[in-house]
Each structure stands twice: as C-alpha cells, then as structure tokens.
Structure 1
Amino acid sequence: MIRRRPTRLELKLEDLEEFEAVKKEIEARRERLDTSAGGAETPTTSRDARQKSFNERIGYNPLPKAAAPLDSTL
C-alpha cells in the first residue's frame, strides 16, 4: 500500500521548550569547556580538535601506513 507524504508538520509548544532546553545545555557545556581550558584556545587549535574528534568518531586514521621495503634482489 502506497501512502502519501505528510502535507504539513505541526510544531508544538513542547517541541519548542525541548529545543530551548537542549540549546541552553549545549551552551553551558561549551562555556564550561572554555573556562576549564583557560580560554586561551586559538581557533586553529579548536579546529584541529574538532577534526581529530570527527576522525575518531568515523574511525578514520589519517596517519600514512609504513611503506613496504623494496625488493633488493635486483
């Protein structure tokens, strides 16, 4: 049976309250991290930390593999 897609989405007051609560929690967590780091973090360091975190989450290891030794019997 083929069903049609919803024609509208309803946004409830509870949804907005939940969004605001999560937003405040994220901002509080960010402020705690900034104060615990001393606030001396540079944008480059922050970007590197985000990239490293992202690579760990997806299982990507950007370090090159060791090259195999060449056959020296030639």
Structure 2
Amino acid sequence: MDFQQAKHLLKIEELRYALNSLAREKSLTSPEILETSKKLDHLLNEYYRLCESAGRLGAMYQDGS
C-alpha cells in the first residue's frame, strides 16, 4: 500500500466515524448526514480507483484484504 492509499484509508475511517456519530444524534435524512455520506462515497470511489491503478484491487477481492 502506498502513501496515497494509506492517506485515503485514514480519511475514510475518519468519515465513517463521523457518520456513525451523526447517525446517533440526527435523522438519517438530515443534511449533515447526507453531505458526510456523499463525501465518504467520493473518498471510497477515489480509493478504489487508486487501488485499481496500482493493480491492487483484484488482489483485494481475491484474498479479502
């Protein structure tokens, strides 16, 4: 895993935590939750593109890592 992938994973985990925290406090259709969810989706898509370009995505699905 390279630096960019590690950086994305850290941001993904931070947003997942934030989204879970918001979900405990607000309605699931609140603007804050929707915006955080969109940011998380965007980061996940970027991460998968990074992995795909590094040739790592296929291995992720094969070995579960």
Query: What TM-score, normalized by structure 1, do the two folds share?
Result: 0.42
Higher relative contact order (CA 8 A, sep 6+): 2
- Relative to its length, the structure with more helix (as a share) is 2
Larger Rg: 1
